[in-house]
Structure 1
Amino acid sequence: MDKYIEEAIIELVGKEGLSVYLLLKNKENYSEFLLSEKLKININQIRNILYKFDSQNLVSFTRKKDRKKGWYIYYWTFRHDQINELIKRKKLHQLKIIDEQIMKEKTVIYYSCPNKCVRMTIEDAMEYAFVCPECGSIFNPDDSSKRMQKLNEEKKEIQELLDNFEKAKIKAIPVKTKKNLKKKKTVKKKKKSRK
């Protein structure tokens, strides 16, 4: 599962985002300044990465005002439950693209250069009089069976991943905030005073 998480994060925010994820993944309410310091990345770049995570709802944050300086410090927590949903959406999108490619392979006739320069639909090949524009060789009808087999294998792999997705889910880390803890304490005090 980690492989899919890392792929999704690199695709979303790049390799720097992966290093932020790896540092943040098992921590709660982690300061953006500590992230910047530990990763030796400029605070603005860290914030940019965190905002990209936030746009996909992959992180939650709390903010506290620094009494000495007067500005807000943000503390971030990675939301593992949301990364699972992101991976699921990406895999469903890949599945849709593969289905479209399979349908196109079934319905469209292709021609290709024997030297593997280009592959074209029959309509495009007719425009070039069935002669390769790269090397001048005559096009041959293309056998789509190997391509179809590869696409079907990819589709099967993604479907297996999606079928087993619930089993392989990463357990969500519960986010504890001081606000929630204070509410529990006040409720206990009220119950004691009623007795």
Structure 2
Amino acid sequence: MFINYSSIRGDRLKKAKTRKKSPRKTPPVSNTEVKELIDAVCGDHGHLIISALMERELTDEGLARATGLKVNVVRRILYDLYERRLVNYRRTRDDGTGWYVYHWYVEPKRAMEGLEIHRRQMLEKLRERLEYEKNTLFFRCSNNCPKVSMDVAMELNFTCPTCGERLEHYDNTPVVKSLEERIRVLEGFRNTSIAS
């Protein structure tokens, strides 16, 4: 099949090549539960970056200026957020330097899918930890060295491996309650929307 490119007007072809995408407009994060989930997944710096990107599309340098973080820290966080499917980018070439410029943005649907995947992973790990905490007897010395399980304590003749003090039964009820609360909070995040 032969395509006659001479019939395409040069100015239309030129226009198509130089047309730039408009910045993506996404609504700000307004749901308190989603903000808390983003904090849990991304931490404080990640939340700063997500919040800045919810307002408009930015480069990594623009994000560094907007958040007050160093550029290399911003890039590391962006790569982590990209791996977790919370942000996306488009790449353009700078005409002056020839370098690629990455324009980062948040796609609410994709971000919610990424948050949901991470929420499920966190829930699975927390449930495993809760089972371990509930089904294991722990011992600890009076110096608050790391706790050890009953099996390890018996092997050590109930002597702390760190400081040599006598090991006593450790009540891990506060840890269990904390884990149960974190699980309850994460279970409450189902079916939330990033812009609701």
State the TM-score, normalized to the length of structure 1. Answer: 0.60
* Residue 105 of structure 2: aligned partner: 77
Distance, in Å, in 2 between the alignment partners of 1:110 and 1:51 is 39
Deviations 1:76-130 (A, max 9, x none): 3222223323332232222222222232233333333355444222221122222
* Residue 24 of structure 1: aligned partner: 53
Kept in 1: contact 2:38–2:47 (CA 8 A): no
1:8 aligns with 2:41: yes
Gaps of 5+ in 2: 1-33
If each structure's helix is expressed as a fraction of its own residues, which one has the higher value? 1
Cα 1:136–1:3, aligned 2, differ >3 Å: closer, same or farther?
Answer: same
Name the count of aligned residue pairs.
163
Deviation of 1:26 after TM superposition, in Å, equals 1.9
* Residue 185 of structure 1: aligned partner: none
Cα 1:86–1:106, aligned 2, differ >3 Å: closer, same or farther?
Answer: same
Q: CA RMSD in A?
A: 3.5
Distance, in Å, in 1 between the alignment partners of 2:143 and 2:74 is 48
1:97 aligns with 2:125: yes
Q: Identity over aligned residues, as a percent?
A: 24
Deviation of 1:145 after TM superposition, in Å, equals 4.0
1:149 aligns with 2:177: yes
Gaps of 5+ in 1: 173-195
